[in-house]
Every structure is written in C-alpha cells, then in structure tokens.
A and B are shown apart, each in its own frame.
Chain A
C-alpha cells in the first residue's frame, strides 16, 4: 500500500431527512453508515447490494455530488471537499445507468462530449475539437455519429457517448453506476468489453456499481457488498465468489440465475422481511432476514473484522475465519 490510493474513503456517513406524510415528523434515514475503504490505482472495486442499500449514494459522495454528513473522501490523495470543481472533473468522472436521462437531448453528440472541456475554460477551440474526435474514436463512434442528436442513437451508442464524455478530460477514475442495466444483453456485452479495454489501455480505476453479480464478477478485481448503508463484506473478487463469508453475500450469490438448465430456481432463504433504510433494526442490521442468526445477532452490532482474506462484519463469520 505504498502507492497513493485512487479512492480513499474514511468513516463516510450520509443521512437524509425524509418526511413520510405531510404531518409526520421527518425521519432520519442513514443511507451510508461509517464506510471506509481504499481502491488502489488501476483496479476495479465492484459494489453490489439490493436497491436501497446506499450504493448510489456512495457513488454520489465519491463524485462530490453530495456532501457527506461525516467522514471524508480522498481522490488520488487529495481531499475531495477542498478540491476545486474543475480539478475534480479532471480527476474523476461518472457514467450513469440511463444514457437517455444523462444526455441533453437538444445538443449534438460532439457538443455533449465537448462540454467538460469547455467548462474547464482554458482549452482552445482547436484542442477541444481534437480531443472530442479522439474520445469519440476511443469509444467506437464515428464523426458522423458525433453530428447526431442522442435520440437518433441506440441505447448502446448513447452509453458510448456518456463514456466518451467521461473520458474527454482524461480522468484517472471513473465511477460507473449501473452502466449496463438499461441495455440489452448483446449491447451490455459490447459496453462491458469497451470498459475493460479502456481500463487496460488508459490505466483507469473504476468504482463499478451494479446489482448484477455476474457482471461484477466479470469486471471487478475486488468486491464490496453493501447492506443497509454498511459494507458487510469486502474481498478480492475470486475469493468472494468462491468462498463468501457473510450470510448476506451467500444469499446474493445463491440468487444469481446462471444460464444452466436443470438447476431450477434456488431457495435463497431470506424470508419475507424487506430491508427498510428508515427502520434499521437493532443489533446486526441483517438479522431479521438472516437464515443463521443467533440470539447475539439481534442484541449486539457486529464489528468489522479485517484479515488477509478481506473484511467481514458478522458475529458468526469472525470465528470461522
């Protein structure tokens, strides 16, 4: 760990106040709860979890789109909070799920891709044009496609535009929040291949958020599993998929339906209780759904335990490791 981490997150916490009715008192929802990790340069940290686990909030905190309630984010060794917006944009860029929502429909593709360069305010027109052309080519779009509007492109092509826009400032880190979830399978494969190729060629670091575990296993070098705002397990990708230690990780892996006929649909064993970030249960927050919970789990919060195999936050897993 001598090299500076590409992303370092220390004690990160984010709360929201949510009103559930006009007259109800606002409720405190802890979307991200005391999360710490670091991502070495050139690697891919996959973040998985169900909807509402806080993975998108985590992405927004790391991008500086949301201020944390507590804790801090360091990007390439610098405190995000103290960074100027332009400097931040040169270092870290997002790719979001729905390319239709994240691209201005009234602008041509090349103008969309040029925007981050123009916002820097110091790059000449010829240079902007050259770098836009370069970025479009990098993601496999023709200059002819650069002259079109987003609505004239397919979903996969639009996601390529979003990737070109993210790369045009030559950032070191890209935060991908469900980048292929809105795409068809054949197109998803094209985009995943492109992201993997770009990482190799440009030495990028990814924070890769997805609910699709097969996709994460394919692209991530390390995986963090989030449950109700906390990282309950973190390990190298191969290790996590081969020997998951947290019961929640095991349930998530069991629920992946691989295209293998004859295996049927597995019994995940999680029961009917749904996680609610506004009502986090006492003790281990996973205990109401946990198939192996013991009395201790409902009384006492487990502490994260780190060893050579990674991190796990479970009363039972700690003894096993």
Chain B
C-alpha cells in the first residue's frame, strides 16, 4: 500500500554548505532505485540521512521521512540504532569502513544477530556461514575464522553484503558498492545483489556515479545535482528521453563502445560543480547550462511529465522533439 521508504523535501545543511536542498524520493519493496550524480551532489548525504548517520554538526529537516509506513524523522539515536543493521542496512564503497580489522569475519557477523535478536552463538554462526555461501563465498567455515585483511577486495565486499543481510533487512542502502572493484568483480557483485533482491524482496537504494550500472540494475533513477533531485524517471524513460539539461549532459559524457567514434570529442559539461550556500535560490545548474534563461534565477517548478517522470527545470519538456515518456 505505501512505499518502503519515502523521503519528502529533505534538507541537510553542514556548516555553510547546503548539502541537500529539498530532495524527495520513494522506494518500493523489491525495487532498485538508483541515486546518480557527481561528487558533492548530495547523494551520499541523502543516504546517511535515512540511516541517521549524518556527520556531527549536520542539520537535517524533512517534511516526511517514512520507513515501512512509519515516520522515523523524529527518531532519536536509540530508536535508530534498533533499526540499523536490523530492518535497514547499508554497505559502502570501501568494505573496511564497516569491517573491524581487529575481529574475525565470524565474530563481526554474528554480533549483528546476537545484538539485535539475542540469537545464541551457535545459531548465529550457522546463519553467518549460510549467508557467506549465499553470497558466493566458497569454504565459508574457513572465512569465518579469518580477519578482513586476509581477504581480497571482492571477498570483503561479499562479506560486507552478507553481514548486512544477517537480520533480513527490508531496505539495503548501497553507496558505490563496486566502485573500488575490477570490472569483472563488479559484474559478479551486481549480479549477486540482483539475485538477493529477487529472492528476499529487498528494497535497494543504490548510490552510484556510473550510468552503466544505473542502466543495468535500476528500476527507477533519480539524478541529483547540487543537492536537488533534478530529474526522476523509470530507467528506460530516463535513458530514452532525458529532459533535464544536466541529465542530457551527463549521458553525453559517457563513452559508449560502438556509439561514439574514436577521436570524436565526447560531450562534456563546462565548468565545475558549485558549492551551494544556504539561502541560494534558483537552479544550481544554471551557470553550466547552455539552455539557461533569466527565469532560472527564480523559483524552479517541479514538473510532472507523466508516467512517473519528473523534472526540476523551467524548460519545456520535449522542447527539441525528444518527447517525454
């Protein structure tokens, strides 16, 4: 009936930077929603806001932050602690940020279950071994006794995923989970996540800068720029008929084998991502936008283009014959 995760009008200010400026998105059970954008666009901060893991000094405001139909925006640290690792889990780009180098894989994995569920040790060990096997690790018994530094990058990533799944979460937030891996291992990890999602009905919020990953795994995409979701659409629609100038620019930057000829220049977006201060008005992209008009300095309307396609821009959708949806 209701979405698994619903964020409405999220604002996060860190010191003198407006990191997230009114981002909204929703995620259904069993769905993969990709949050895509370049460094500093606010995608990781959005994810950390959901988990209640914002850095000290960050100020968060939302109209709504609902998880499984329940408003969690006002939850305190203890209530969030109960959710985290249990009903919602997060995996990171660098597995060593969530793995403790001083403990064995087994003791870290079982701790999650013992802490949240009070599961007896032997049972927790069985569950850990079962999940290691589920994420494609051969000889799970051996791995449980090893320390993180004894594992390769791809194995650590699998261990982190297995650990995130210990309590059967409903929501998995994955922040650039394959960015540090080789392409061959990346494909394996993404296939694994897709398989787990199908079997367990997980909702996945996947944060990435890689449009190739987005195209291949997402059901729905939200493009973030300078703290705002500038365009959101079902994946096929976004790639077939992108409307926001930033989305179009981003797509033209990616070399596609067989599409762009060698030595022909790639599309690129001039300039750099701006740092937005609180109180900034208008479109954050206008200084880099080739289609900017005076209206871009005013209030930018959120346009509903139909079939779940939305954008934050003053321009006409389908302005150049590329119709929306």
Contact = CB atoms under 8 A, between A and B. Distances in A.
A274 B152 CA distance: 8
B256 A259 contact: yes
Given A211-B183, A256-B183, A257-B212, A185 B257 contact: no
Interface string A192-213: 1100110010000000000111
B254 A259 contact: yes
A270 B267 CA distance: 34
Interface residues of B, number: 53
B217 A50 contact: no
A98 to B, nearest CB: 14
Nearest to A185: B253
Contact of A265 (B217, B250, B272): B217
Interface in B173-199: 182-188, 190-191, 194
Nearest to B268: A189
B48 interface: no
Contacts of B215: 257-263
B267 A265 contact: no
B267 A50 contact: no
Nearest to B136: A272
Contacts, number: 146
B39 A259 contact: no
Nearest to B270: A190
Contacts of B297: none
A186 interface: yes
Which has the most chain A C-beta neighbours within 10 Å: B152, B212, B266, B267? B266
A102 interface: no
Nearest to B155: A274
A268 interface: yes
B214 interface: yes
Interface residues of A, number: 51
A244 B17 CA distance: 49
Interface string B129-145: 00000001110000000
A237 B263 CA distance: 12
A268 B184 contact: yes
B236 A189 contact: no
A184 B225 CA distance: 13
Contact of A186 (B155, B210, B250, B260): B250
Which has the most chain A C-beta neighbours within 10 Å: B39, B154, B211, B254? B254
A267 B194 CA distance: 12
B255 A218 contact: yes
Given A255-B186, A261-B216, A186 B269 contact: yes
Contacts of B254: 185, 189, 214, 259
Contact of B265 (A196, A221, A261, A268): A196
Contact of A255 (B183, B209, B260, B269): B183
Interface in A13-68: 50-51
Given A211-B183, A256-B212, A268-B187, A262 B255 contact: no
Given A185-B254, A265-B217, A257 B187 contact: yes
A252 interface: yes
Given A192-B255, A192-B266, A257-B213, 11 more contacts: A184-B273, A189-B266, A193-B265, A211-B183, A214-B254, A255-B183, A262-B236, A264-B217, A265-B194, A266-B187, A274-B155
Interface of A: 50-51, 154-157, 184-190, 192-193, 196-197, 200, 211-215, 217-221, 237-238, 241, 251-252, 254-268, 270, 272, 274
24 contacts: A156-B272, A184-B38, A184-B273, A186-B269, A187-B38, A187-B272, A189-B252, A189-B253, A212-B183, A213-B257, A219-B262, A251-B184, A257-B186, A259-B211, A259-B239, A259-B256, A261-B215, A261-B236, A263-B216, A264-B217, A266-B187, A268-B187, A270-B188, A272-B138
